[in-house]
Each structure stands twice: as C-alpha cells, then as structure tokens.
C-alpha cells in the first residue's frame, strides 16, 4: 500500500457563513481554507489529489491553481448536496484504478498538522481503516464514536440519530480517514440514506470496516480537527493558526513584543535576532533578514528585507525589496516595485513606487518618488516630487550618483539629472541637467515696502467688523463757506458803463 491518493471534500454551501463566497474560500491566516488540505496532501507526497467541489467550483479551483499551479489537483463535481458519502462517490470514477491507501480530508478543517496525518497514514494499511477522533468540552453537534465492551470501534452515529445513551458519549468523529482505497470504493456502493437527514453518510463505512477489517482510532487535540462552520469558528481558527506560527517563530530566535497582536502568515520567514513590535502584520511571501527591527504597526506584504534593517512605526511596504542596514519611516509607504539598496534612508511620509534608490541615498521628508531610478549618495530634499504622469502616460526620472536635490523641487519626467548636479530649492526641472551643473528656476524676489503693516491693519479691521477700506473723513470747508455766503449781504452791483446812443440822421 505504498501509493497514496487524497480526496478533499469541499463542495458544501456553507450557509452558516452567511456569505456570497464559498466557505472554503474564506481565509485563515491569509490563506483560503482549501489551500491547507491541498498543502498537506503535497507534503505527504500524495500521488493523486482530488477535490470534490460544488458551490463556486470555478473560483475554488482558480484559488488552488493560483497557489499550487495548474493541474495540482483533479476535480470531481457534486452538483447536489446529498451527504459526505455522496460527495466521495463523485470522486470514485477518478480513482477506479487506485490500489493504494486513500486519505479523506475536509476543506473546512485548516488546523490539521502534517505530523498528525503522517501518524494516521502510518497506522492505516490494507487491513486497517484509521480515523481521527477527539473529545471536545461539549460533544454537541458531532458524530459519536461507539465502541464495544472491549474498546473496539464498531460504528459512528451522527447526533441526530443518537440514542440518549449515545448522546452521552464524549469521543467524537473528526471526519478524517485513511484506509485501503479499494475497500472504501467498494463500500461506497452499499451506502443507504437510512438516517434522519436522508443522506449518504461516509461514516457508515466505519461500521463495515469494523466487521471486515480493523478500525484504528487515533485521539487528536480538539483544536487541530476543529471544523469551520461560521464566522465565529473562522476567527477562532485564524487566531489559533497565527498563535501556532508565532510560537514557532519565537522558538526559532525571533523576539515578538506582543504575540497576541502579531499577524503572521505561513510563508513568512524572519531571521534570528530580529524584533517584531506590537501590531506588526507580515503577509504573503515575506522574507526578513537577521537582526532587523520592525516597529509597531508596520504592514509588510510580499517583500524581501535585508539584514540589520530598521523599519519605524506605521510604515507600509508592498512587493518591494530593501537592502541591508536601511532605515525606513516612520509613516513611509513603499508601493510595488520599490527597490532600496544598502544603507538607504527613507524618512517620514515618503512614498515610492517603481523606484530604485542606490546605496547610501536619502529621502528623509515628505516626498513622492515614482517611476524613478536614483543613484548612489543622492540627497533628496523635503517636498520633492517626481511628476511621472501627464494624464496619459507615465515617464521615468533618472537621477545619477551624488546629485543634491533641494527642497520643494518638481522633476517633470522624462528627465535626467546627471552626476553631481545640484538642484536649487523651489525649482521645477523640465530639461535634462548636465553633470555638475546648478539648476535654479526661481522667479526674481520682489520687496513691497510697507505692505506688512497695511496687511495687519486690514486684518485687524476686518476682525473687528469694521469696513475696509475705511471711509475717508468728510471736510467741512465748503459747507462753512456756503453758510457764510448765505448770511453775507448781497454785493452792490457797480453800474456797467453805457455806450453813448448814436445820433439820428435827419
């Protein structure tokens, strides 16, 4: 029985999740639940992996293919949900020629470990059906394991079919089996819906195996075989997985300041003597080197971080690469495609996107560097912007080694600043700059005398509710003159000289 095939039952609707998404696509520690049993099957070197899918089968398969590659699993479809036995029947045609062991897993049990499954498979043989059992604090809702007086397993009874005596049994069925494939496939044909649910129960195979083979029940910790049925279960499984990953990380030589608040995913790697602060989130395929310090609230996704790096609080790094002994943050944002070489300093509120900073370069304050190639030992002043998008296309900015970029500078791409050039503060650079040149694009400075005093007077008046500009005072000179003129006696008219009358001609 050297060969192993695995069937993963993942066709359920998951109605208790109250979600438009298939249950097995909900995430535990950053991975869709369906990914966990597939990863275990690969770790066990299963020759065949068959997923029985139903609801949103295309999306589930796309998720599996995205993680493990196309063709990693075969698919059997269960169009109608008629029980676990019916689900396994859909996979039977694909495994008709399989002669080895058959491992049966569920798509909503993400906390199983490779060690437990190896123990299960090692116990199974051509004459033994091995199964996992557990003893939860409350067995309500689980199938009970019924044993005879000698302690041998004789059958599994689902709760709705239990007698009062059987309900008091504390040992429960985990729904994980490994046994001879030929026997299991043959037993599927004899299943009948003789139960309260009217379904075909996979658990009925255990009763037949107890008569024709031997049944070995392996006790397993409750947490490991916990199924996820609703959002509460999902949160518990997520916390349990993160705790497991965090403890393994600490045992490997990493200091975790607040283990309960570290969000960790399975593919994350952290080097020895690194320290992770409270609330750090490490997602995807992230690799952090030795002796790093990752402060509170940092979120890193799919990044590679070198040795001795200090990432200060509340930085966000995505799909980026950071060299050795770099200093980043606080509140820096590395967007996809950012590459920081060794000894780079990236300060508070600096954002990069598809940008490389060469060794020893610095951008310490309030800058946006997008679509740029920046050389070594470059100083980027506060408020610098690479203007990389004109509304239609994105263009590149090139800054060669040893350039000094003054504060509040705009570099309008495409543009190249050659080695050793100096960009004066407040400049807008639209043309290439020769090596070693100074660029100065400010307008001439103008002084307006007395302007500040007039401004203060204006603002004080407006604040006091007074009109501005103030009304000019009216002069009384003309009014007084009019009054005086009215009271004065009229001037005597001087007789105008008369012209002598012309004499008439007689």
Question: Which of the residues are catalytic?
Answer: 365
CA distances from 208 to 89, 126, 205 (A): 17, 15, 5
CB within 8 A of 388, min separation 6: which ones?
370, 371, 372, 394, 395, 396, 397, 413
Question: Is the four-CA dihedral 263, 266, 267, 269 of positive or negative sign?
Answer: positive
| Phi (first) and psi of residue 90, to 5 degrees | -70, -25
Distance CA 84, CA 96 (A): 18
Q: Does residue 14 sit in helix, strand or coil?
A: coil
Contact yes or no for 155/206 (Cβ under 8 A): yes
Cα torsion at 338, 342, 347, 350 (round to 10°)? -10
Nearest to 386 by CA among 376, 378, 374: 374
Nearest to 186 by CA among 154, 208, 218: 208
Distance CA 107, CA 17 (A): 14
For 391, counting Cβ atoms within 10 Å of its Cβ (0-12 exposed, 13-18 middle, 19+ buried), the class is exposed
CA distances from 434 to 163, 312, 403, 423, 439 (A): 90, 36, 11, 11, 9
Contact yes or no for 39/114 (Cβ under 8 A): no
Nearest to 179 by CA among 218, 152, 147: 218
* Radius of gyration over every alpha carbon of the chain, rounded to an integer in angstroms: 41
β partners of residue 102: 5, 179
CB within 8 A of 258, min separation 6: which ones?
277, 278, 279
User: What order do you get walking across the sheet with 310-311 strand by strand?
Assistant: 255-256, 275-276, 293-294, 310-311, 327-328, 345-348, 362-365, 379-380, 404-405, 422-423, 438-439
β partners of residue 146: 155
Q: Which two tokens mark 327? A: 């200093």
Nearest to 333 by CA among 382, 292, 368: 368
Contact yes or no for 355/374 (Cβ under 8 A): yes
Place of tokens 């040893």: 402
Contact yes or no for 143/274 (Cβ under 8 A): no
């Amino acid at each position: 029985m050297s060969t192993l095939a695995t069937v993963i039952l993942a066709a359920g609707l998951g109605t208790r999740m109250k979600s438009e998404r298939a249950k097995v696509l909900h995430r535990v520690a950053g991975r869709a639940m369906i990914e966990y049993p597939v990863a275990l099957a690969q770790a066990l070197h299963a020759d065949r992996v068959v997923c029985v899918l139903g609801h949103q089968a295309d999306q589930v398969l796309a998720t599996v293919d995205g993680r493990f590659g196309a063709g990693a699993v075969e698919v059997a479809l269960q169009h109608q949900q008629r029980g676990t036995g019916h689900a396994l029947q859909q996979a039977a045609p694909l495994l008709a020629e399989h002669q080895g062991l058959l491992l049966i897993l569920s798509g909503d049990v993400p906390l199983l470990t490779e060690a437990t499954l190896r123990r299960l498979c090692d116990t199974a043989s051509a004459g033994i059906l091995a199964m996992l059992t557990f003893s939860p604090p409350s067995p309500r809702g689980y199938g009970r394991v019924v044993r005879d007086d000698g302690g041998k397993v004789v059958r599994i009874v689902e709760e709705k079919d239990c007698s009062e005596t059987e309900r008091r049994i504390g040992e429960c069925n985990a729904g994980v089996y490994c046994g001879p494939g030929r026997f299991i496939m043959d037993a599927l044909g004899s299943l009948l819906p003789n139960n309260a649910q009217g379904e075909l129960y996979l658990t009925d195979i255990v009763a037949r195996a107890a008569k024709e083979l031997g049944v070995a029940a392996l006790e397993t910790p409750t947490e490991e075989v916990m199924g996820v049925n609703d959002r509460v279960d999902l949160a518990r499984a997520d916390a349990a997985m993160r705790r497991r990953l965090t403890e393994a990380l600490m045992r490997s030589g990493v200091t975790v300041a607040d283990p309960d608040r570290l969000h960790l995913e399975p593919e994350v790697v952290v080097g020895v003597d690194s320290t992770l602060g409270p609330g750090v989130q490490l997602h995807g395929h992230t690799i952090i080197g030795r002796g790093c310090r990752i402060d509170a609230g940092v979120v890193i996704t799919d990044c590679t971080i070198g040795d001795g790096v200090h990432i200060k609080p509340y930085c966000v790094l995505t799909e980026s690469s950071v060299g050795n002994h770099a200093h980043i943050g606080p509140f820096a944002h590395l967007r996809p495609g950012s590459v920081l070489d060794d000894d780079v300093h990236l300060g508070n509120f600096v954002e990069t996107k598809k940008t490389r900073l060469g060794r020893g370069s610095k951008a310490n304050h309030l800058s946006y560097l997008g679509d740029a190639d920046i050389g070594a030992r470059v100083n980027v002043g506060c408020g610098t912007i690479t203007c990389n998008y004109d509304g239609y296309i994105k263009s590149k900015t090139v800054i060669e080694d040893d350039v000094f970029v003054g504060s509040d500078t705009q570099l309008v791409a495409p543009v190249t600043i050659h080695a050793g050039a100096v960009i004066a503060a407040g400049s807008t650079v639209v043309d290439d700059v020769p090596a070693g040149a100074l660029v100065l694009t400010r307008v001439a400075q103008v002084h307006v005398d007395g302007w500040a005093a007039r401004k203060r007077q204006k603002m004080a008046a407006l604040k006091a509710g007074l009109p501005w500009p103030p009304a000019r005072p009216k002069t009384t000179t003309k009014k007084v003159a009019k009054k005086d003129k009215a009271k004065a006696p009229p001037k005597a008219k001087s007789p105008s000289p008369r012209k002598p009358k012309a004499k008439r001609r007689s």
